[in-house]
Amino acid sequence: MSPARAARRADSAALSAPAALHDAETARYPAPRATVDPDTTKTWLRRAMPILRAHRGIFVTALVLSFVGLVLQLQIPNLLNHAIDNSVLRHTVPLHFYVWWILGLGLAGGLSGYVSRLFLFQSAYEIEYDLRTMIYEHLTRMSFPFYDRVQSGQLISRANSDIRSVQMYMTFAPMILVQCSSALVAFGFMLSINVPLAFVAMITMPFVFIVGHRMRKGMFPVSWLIQARLADVATIVDENVNGVRVVRSFAQEKEQLRTLAKAADKVQWGYVKDADLRARWTPAVQNLPQVGLALVLAFGGYMVIHGTLGLGAILAFNSYLLMLQAPFMMLGMIIMMGQRAAASAERIYEILDEEPTIVDRPGAIDLLDCTGDVRFEKVGFSYGPDLPMVLCDLDLHLRPGETVALVGRTGSGKSTVARLIPRFYDVTEGTFTVDGHDVRDLTIESLRSNVGVVLDDAFLFSVSIRDNIAYGRPEADIADVEAAARAAGAHGFIEELPEGYDTVVGERGYTLSGGQRQRITIARTLLVNPPILVLDDATSAIDVQVEQQIHDALRVLMEGRTTLIVAHRLSTISLADRVVLLEEGRIIADGTHAELLETTPQYAEVLAQVDPDADVALGSTNGNSAAAGGSGSVHGRGGH
């Protein structure tokens, strides 16, 4: 045996441990303490209350301390009233007595306010964490049809800015309301000083409530519109960042800027409308309490002049009203926050209320000791109820350990078959079984743990190459990672990188070439070592010499493994034991490469279309020249 062959077998042995389900790792983050109420008939705030109640201990403490601090501060005007009357005018009590009391109350109120805000912000961030984790976990459970129709920018917006709007209102609105409730305590103190003047001071409060209610009704639709258009802007930015190479290759930067400008103009219109509503109503909400101050000065001054009210009393009234101005000035802000939070919550609930379509059935069983027997029986499939059928009456059997190449023109349904095997989608008609079990009777986790998929879109995460390869087995040691990389033909170029396997790749792996990315994704799948392997045109971006190296390794690694190859190259077809030809979602031919060349003219036509160099190989190939088992001379580019 050659040294190279021995090395490949060693790599295969390192990766050949049977795939099995493992206990889930202990979560490195705490799960959300609660979730939103699923009852869609309730208001958005009532649905969110379970999350708030889960943090009620620290949150209620923050509110109580805030109220205590306000009550302590409200004592100061009353002490000022007594100090002026008893110490300044009558000289019956030493002035320093009131000075020390006021200083003590000020310090106590400040300490209470500090602890209150500390607890408030802590609970705010915990609520935001729960909301963000909850929606992310929900997104991880959603099925592929959901992502086929939802824009990523919309999801990003709802998982970020919308969550922040809800969190801000849920935590800070109660605090502002507590501060506004100090008006009742202040009103009690004012009643103890002078009943008629107390009612004069609070006469504007009903008008504040009426104006605030009208402001709230006008701002809700505008807030919804702003959040929706912000999500549109996020979508455009996300697409331009991810598609920057396409944009620049077609010199469409200016056109994309115009598109973004149009979306930004729509957002601007919403903000201007929002500002117009706030400019119309907020001054009234904020300044009506000042009308009460003017009335106190007018009526209280008249009473002081005529000797029916002490000078200290009118100063105390003025102090109370000045202290109440700040909460009522914030009342306009809380109304605005409430409408924006309501709009954001509805957008979040649109996501949370949508259930995944691919789920475990009640009583689903785990797929254990998988042999890799895969069978499609009379399968029909469509990506939507109003969309045409992609697969029709498909019968296909992949026997354990067999390698089958799926060949067909673009749009014939090859990739769809590959997506059905890990149950990314459910069949529309017929049945699809693995080891005799309908996949809908198996748990999704156990099925996918036994199926390895390498897609034509080589996606990498912005982490080290080692972490990318070990994505499916985070506990794998470096020896297993290197063995998988060698098997995929990636070890050589990885060793040449500045930090080897610890090199961090750029976003989506674009700091590497297309072929390098695909080799890493192949290594990622091989490390998991699944009994069923799906290669969806996995070597399309790899040059011929490297492809041959990978094929040599794959021939060893596919021994005993059921493999479906979506093939576009003759060299890839050479790996297969059997070739299946798809045409418009139907199987029109099934056999070895040589058999199809002899009996099915469409097969040669398809090969000539999908592999431009196929004519060279086909021109020199007769019925006996192509080995069915994958070791013959059919290598479309640079064959043996």
Q: Tens digit of pLDDT for each residue in 362-406?
A: 999 999 999 999 999 999 999 988 889 999 999 999 999 999 999
Neighbour-count burial for 519-534, b at 16+ CB within 10 Å, e otherwise: bbbbbbbbbbbbbbbb
Pairing of the two strands 532-536 and 403-408: unpaired
Burial class (CB in 10 A: 0-12, 13-18, 19+), 541: middle
User: Residues 55-72: what's their mean pLDDT?
Assistant: 89
What's the CATH superfamily of 372-450+531-635? Answer: P-loop containing nucleotide triphosphate hydrolases (3.40.50.300)
- What is the predicted pLDDT for the residue at 617? 47
Residue 18: strand, helix, or coil: coil
Cα(630)–Cα(402) distance, integer angstroms:
12
Higher pLDDT, 209 or 273: 273
3-state secondary structure 313-342: HHHHHHHHHHHHHHHHHHHHHHHHHHHHHH
Assess contact for 406 and 328: CB atoms under 8 A: no
pTM listed for this prediction = 0.68
Express each pLDDT in 531-571 by its tens digit. 998 888 766 556 666 667 667 656 666 777 899 998 877 87
- The torsion angle over the Cα atoms of residues 121, 125, 128 and 133, rounded to 10 degrees, is -170
Half-sphere exposure of 109 (CA within 13 A, CB side): 15
User: Residues 192-202: what's their mean pLDDT?
Assistant: 82
Express each pLDDT in 73-85 by its tens digit. 878 877 877 787 7
For residue 331, give the nearest of 479, 172, 529, 541 by alpha carbon.
172
Express each pLDDT in 137-181 by its tens digit. 888 888 888 888 887 777 877 888 888 889 888 988 888 888 777
Higher pLDDT, 217 or 129: 129
Is 601 a residue whose pLDDT tops 70? yes
Sheet containing strand 586-591, edge to edge, reads: 451-454, 532-536, 562-566, 403-408, 578-583, 586-591
For residue 284, give the nearest of 220, 329, 223 by alpha carbon.
329
Higher pLDDT, 201 or 333: 201
Residues 6 or more apart whose CB falls under 8 angstroms from that of 620 comprise none
Cα(324)–Cα(219) distance, integer angstroms:
25
Q: Which amino acid is at 245?
A: R
- What is the predicted pLDDT for the residue at 616? 40
Assess contact for 581 and 421: CB atoms under 8 A: no
Task: Supply the CATH classification number for the domain 44-352.
Answer: 1.20.1560.10
Express each pLDDT in 101-121 by its tens digit. 888 888 988 898 899 989 998
- What is the predicted pLDDT for the residue at 431? 94
Q: Which amino acid is at 117?
A: R
Pairing of the two strands 437-438 and 429-434: antiparallel
Is 2 a residue whose pLDDT tops 60? no
Bridge partners (DSSP) listed for residue 589: 581
User: Residues 196-218: what's their mean pLDDT?
Assistant: 75
User: Which range in 454-468, 471-485, 611-625 is most confidently predicted, on average pLDDT?
Assistant: 471-485
Is 345 a residue whose pLDDT tops 50? yes
Neighbour-count burial for 371-381, b at 16+ CB within 10 Å, e otherwise: bbbbbbeebeb
Q: Say yes or no: do domains 44-352 and 372-450+531-635 share a fold.
A: no
| Residue 309 confidence class, pLDDT cut points 50, 70, 90 | confident
Q: What is the mean pLDDT of the chain?
A: 79
Cα(566)–Cα(535) distance, integer angstroms:
6
Q: Where along the chain do its domains lie?
A: 44-352, 372-450+531-635
For residue 330, give the nearest of 116, 230, 182 by alpha carbon.
182
Alpha-carbon distances of 266 from 92, 232, 262, 270, rounded to whole Å = 68, 10, 6, 6
The structure tokens listed for 444 are: 């999704």
What values do phi and psi take at 513, rounded to 5?
A: -75, 165
